[in-house]
Amino acid sequence: MNKLIFKLFYCKACFGLFILIFIAFLTGCADITGKAVKQIQEINKQPEAYFCPRDDCSKIFENNIKSANFSVHCAFYDIDLKNIITALARKSKTADVKIVTDSSNYEDQIKGEGLRLDDDKQLMHNKFCVIDNSIVITGSFNPTDNDNNYNNNNVVVIYSNTLAGNYGNEFNELWSGKFGKGNNVNNPIVYINNMKIENYFCPEDKCASHIINLIKNAESSIYFMSFSFTNEEIADALIMKSDLDVRGIFDSSQSSSKFSQFKRLQEFGIKVKKDSNKYKMHHKVFIIDNQTVVTGSFNPTLSADTKNDENLLIIHDKKIANDFLKEFDSLWA
């Protein structure tokens, strides 16, 4: 009798577990903590990548600002390009235009009710715009004369209501005066035309951990371009993968700083070099296995991971990866 009861209970438990797994499959997947992660699918235009100064990155922002129908919300660490400032001013007459910028770079470039400054307790280091709640423009590019015409930078344009919602929520936090650690991103994973894109904000989403996981799971190659690289844990992850093709480019002005990982990586046999641009190599990029790209405002530093307002974008796509590989190869040569 006891065996029969046990068997019945066991079968019911198995059936219940099967139902739970089936429901999880239908609604999304679960991470290792059991927390459900939504699998959002969108059909939209393909993401685009641009590289300054080869491309006129300011025009990407300017054209999208001009074509906005009802809203332009931007978070810029720095801004001084006249064409961008003019486009924002003109658009503010017909649309909701709001700008958040870091106070350390503010020199009365923009004035009015549509401007907020950060609170000086950390860097508001983001570089992104959300257009009409449907387009996100981000990358390493600040709309400044130096970043557009002299420094090496990237700009990515993504057409996605979901990602625009993520960046819109982040912008609203900044606009409300909530700098530093905020709310975790609502929808960290979205598929656009079956292209997987991940999106995180620092410090709340622990950006460094996502880069480390990508490095740990790399199978053939890891290439990176970093303006500032002082994070020891990310460097440790690279060293553990030294049997792969691992190469990195550092900005020459930052490579000799006190906490730079340049010499340490070099000592462990990682192929690293200093850029040859007499201005700045301003990228914050990792390219994994020629098929995944990490970009955004996030430098691999402790401050970026634990203190500053930053954003991180991970794009799993061979075409986008190939675009970034061409940029890497041009700087490595």
Could you report the per-residue pLDDT of 195-254, keeping only the tens digit for each? 999 999 999 999 999 999 999 999 999 999 999 999 999 999 999 999 999 999 999 999
More confident residue, 28 or 112: 112
Candidates 3.40.640.10, 1.10.10.410, 3.30.870.10, 3.90.226.10; CATH matching 199-332: 3.30.870.10
Residues annotated as catalytic (active site), given as ranges: 282, 284, 289
What CATH fold (topology level) applies to the domain 41-187? Endonuclease; Chain A (3.30.870)
pTM equals 0.89
Q: How confident is the model at residue 121 (pLDDT cuts 50, 70, 90)?
A: confident
Lowest pLDDT segment from 71-75, 98-102, 117-121: 117-121
Taking the C-alpha atoms of residue 20 and residue 202, their distance in angstroms, rounded to an integer, is 33
Q: How confident is the model at residue 32 (pLDDT cuts 50, 70, 90)?
A: very low
Predicted local confidence at residue 37, as pLDDT? 64
Please report, for the chain, the start and end positions of each structural domain, with discontinuous segments joined by +. 41-187, 199-332
- Residue 155 bridge partners (DSSP): 50, 139
Predicted local confidence at residue 256, as pLDDT? 85
Task: List, for residues 278-310, the tens digit of each pLDDT value.
Answer: 999 999 999 999 999 999 999 999 999 999 999
Q: How confident is the model at residue 36 (pLDDT cuts 50, 70, 90)?
A: low
Give DSSP secondary structure letters for 162-219: HHHHHHHHHHHHHHTT--SS-PPPS--EEEETTEEEEEEEETTT-HHHHHHHHHHT-S
Number of Cβ within 10 Å of residue 41's Cβ equals 11
CATH topology of 41-187 equal to that of 199-332?
A: yes
